[in-house]
Amino acid sequence: MDVKRWVWWSGVVVGIALLAVGCESLLGVGGAGLAIAMSVIAGGIVTHWRQRDTISCRINGPRLRPLQVSAFGLMGLGVVCYQLHGGGAIATLSAQWPIVGASWVPLVLVAAGVGWLGFLSIGSDCRDEQLLAAMGERER
């Protein structure tokens, strides 16, 4: 395997871990979960932009694409916010931005992630490609 690639990805993992530890220290309980969820969301979007794909899956078998991963990250962020509601990192962030502590924020985040997946399912060829691959066909 390419050593340069392994070093780069190791640096990314260490950077995210340091970010998570820093957020946990700064924001309190749950800060690391928020940082990791935000990293997943951003990572999927940045990877999509780097590949410069249209909203397309282009797969030969079922696998997640970067924008799908970001949608799952958004849902994960909603779950973390729900678990921390009223305490930990959410309480710290609510002092600065009161809307973060609102009881409806976790629901909106999860619903937005589900809606994003729905949009990708309808607005792209993900389902068609996966169905064709499952049937053993590569192209129509």
d(C-alpha 130, C-alpha 33), whole Å: 31
Per-residue pLDDT of the chain (140 residues; tens, 9 = 90+): 577 878 887 888 888 888 888 888 887 787 888 888 888 888 777 777 777 655 555 555 556 677 888 888 888 888 888 888 877 788 788 888 888 888 888 889 999 989 888 888 777 665 556 566 666 665 54
Q: What is the pLDDT of residue 140?
A: 46
**Rounded distance between C-alpha atoms, residue 57 and residue 125, angstroms:** 6
Return the structure tokens found at 131.
């169905």
- Using a cut of 0.85, tell me whether the model's pTM lies above it: no
Asked whether the beta carbons of 101 and 93 are under 8 A apart, the reply is yes
